[in-house]
Structure 1
């Protein structure tokens, strides 16, 4: 099980070599459909991930189709964030940039991990390479395992989100392509760790794993919502987009307000939904005796 999570994280990391913008300059409404990011550093790893996963699913009929649906949805979202014009639009609109961040941190990682790619990928590989990958996964697990606790995973993810949205760091990422890649890579990596922790709690035998992960989700909901509010209600533009949003007919401040709402609302629903699901799972696993509340406040009899 642990090796499976490690390999799943490894496959999901294939596209991280190109987590940057296309660098195509300002993109207006008339140019948006011509601004696809056809970067080999994006397309080749994604195509390799699709091919390995599809080959493994075809070879082993015992893998459930629901896995493939989740993995396909996650890869489609990565394509939305890294290939579709949303990537190039992030050079012009802070709100588009923020939407890309939400794809990389909140929505694509859990879907990729729900696809549980370790099994299909191992089946797709030659037998000798499978053994090599299993050995490598055991070694990598020693480094990843301490990072998958609810406190550690949520703090690492939160630190990445807050640090990169500091105006100095964000503006540096806008100005330099390699800094931009580092920004997006850290979002995606910490997002994978965070959601791997959440999903592992679903399958954990420890009954307290689910409420602990739900607490981490609540913490992330609160601090990311606070950051979204600070961005949305700031009285003036915080980042170095200048007059770029006017190419879309909106002011820089309006664009920033939209970006804050993008961080605040869609991500908030995702965290709330996951937290409620974990708590429902925890309650469902409790024995009748554990459901009893002393004093009769919530229990008759």
Structure 2
């Protein structure tokens, strides 16, 4: 490989034909469905197509070509495929275009898109492809390398599905729960990144076998990749957290999410009807006394 320059970053391409066909078919299917849906926002279409374009670049552009030469470029590809591309695709709301089919597969999708499944898959992929010999096999086998790319994209989609408010077959995840999942993913990125930064020697022989007289040394490049996972990964997660917090604030302004849940719990505890003003002191006091009377009657009947 020639030295990595801005020119090489734009001109080095090696597009895998199956991936291009698959991504092209997905983009075409989305466009057909969007055109058939009256009033579909073109901003969503643009966001989805941007995700497709970035996926093509990450899989067939210089990022992919140099990922076999520099671990730091592998990490750039990893972050693009596991976070940036899935976020763009999901913000395009593709599942809204196939709601009827999703309802028929609601129970299965409900299990697959559970946040615990997404988090477990994300953790397994991040740890398994960096702290085990898996990456070494991916560096010497095009087939394993392709599987690795699918794992990044798939685990990123499963992690982010409930976090951006898309949860086929299940009610939306609360915004607080979304932040908890994001924080857990940030911990995973930080731990793996720090482990790589503290590794004193090159753990992947395929990188040591590459002959080059340019760029960082092997261990320096490894540490750069670890820093990219820690800092870059957590920065992307933080950006998603800001997005979730913004959605949460909007939901609270509309009276949705946690505020509505707390209000319902309070009404249930006081046995108030929907038309009763909870903050009316006299009504609340009467309801409270009635609740104590019911509890006393239960105790007396035992």
Cα deviation, 1:68-125, whole Å, max 9, x if unaligned, reads 12112211210220121211111111111111111110110011011122455x6xxx
For residues 188 and 224 of structure 2, what CA distance do their matches in structure 1 show?
Answer: 18
Contact kept? 2:163, 2:173, Cα under 8 Å: no
> Are 1:117 and 2:82 counterparts?
no
Contact kept? 1:148, 1:193, Cα under 8 Å: yes
> Are 1:272 and 2:238 counterparts?
yes
Residue in 2 that maps onto 1:95: 72
For residues 172 and 267 of structure 1, what CA distance do their matches in structure 2 show?
Answer: 24
> Are 1:255 and 2:221 counterparts?
yes
Equivalent position SS for 1:248: coil
1:234 deviates by 2.0
CA distance change for structure 1 residues 245 and 115 in 2, over 3 Å: closer, same or farther?
farther
> Are 1:50 and 2:15 counterparts?
no
1:66 deviates by 1.8
Aligned pairs for 1:137-216 (under 5 A) are: 137=102, 140-200=105-165, 209-216=174-181
Among 55, 65, 72, which residue is 2:42 paired with? 65
TM-score normalised by L of structure 2: 0.73
Residue in 2 that maps onto 1:85: 62
Contact kept? 1:243, 1:252, Cα under 8 Å: no
For residues 173 and 94 of structure 2, what CA distance do their matches in structure 1 show?
Answer: 27
Higher relative contact order (CA 8 A, sep 6+): 1
* Paired residue total: 254
Deviates more, 1:193-202 or 1:148-157: 193-202
Contact kept? 1:202, 1:210, Cα under 8 Å: no
1:271 deviates by 1.1
Deviates more, 1:217-226 or 1:227-236: 227-236
> Which structure has the larger Rg?
2
Q: Structure 1: which 5+ residue stretches go unaligned?
A: 1-25, 123-132, 292-301
Deviates more, 1:103-112 or 1:161-170: 161-170
Q: Structure 2: which 5+ residue stretches go unaligned?
A: 264-302
Deviates more, 1:57-66 or 1:90-99: 57-66
CA distance change for structure 1 residues 147 and 83 in 2, over 3 Å: closer, same or farther?
same
> Are 1:29 and 2:10 counterparts?
no
Equivalent position SS for 1:197: coil
Deviates more, 1:280-289 or 1:258-267: 280-289
For residues 188 and 208 of structure 1, what CA distance do their matches in structure 2 show?
Answer: 21
Runs of 4+ in 1 over 6 A off after TM superposition: 201-208
RMSD of the alignment, in Å?
3.1
CA distance change for structure 1 residues 141 and 95 in 2, over 3 Å: closer, same or farther?
farther
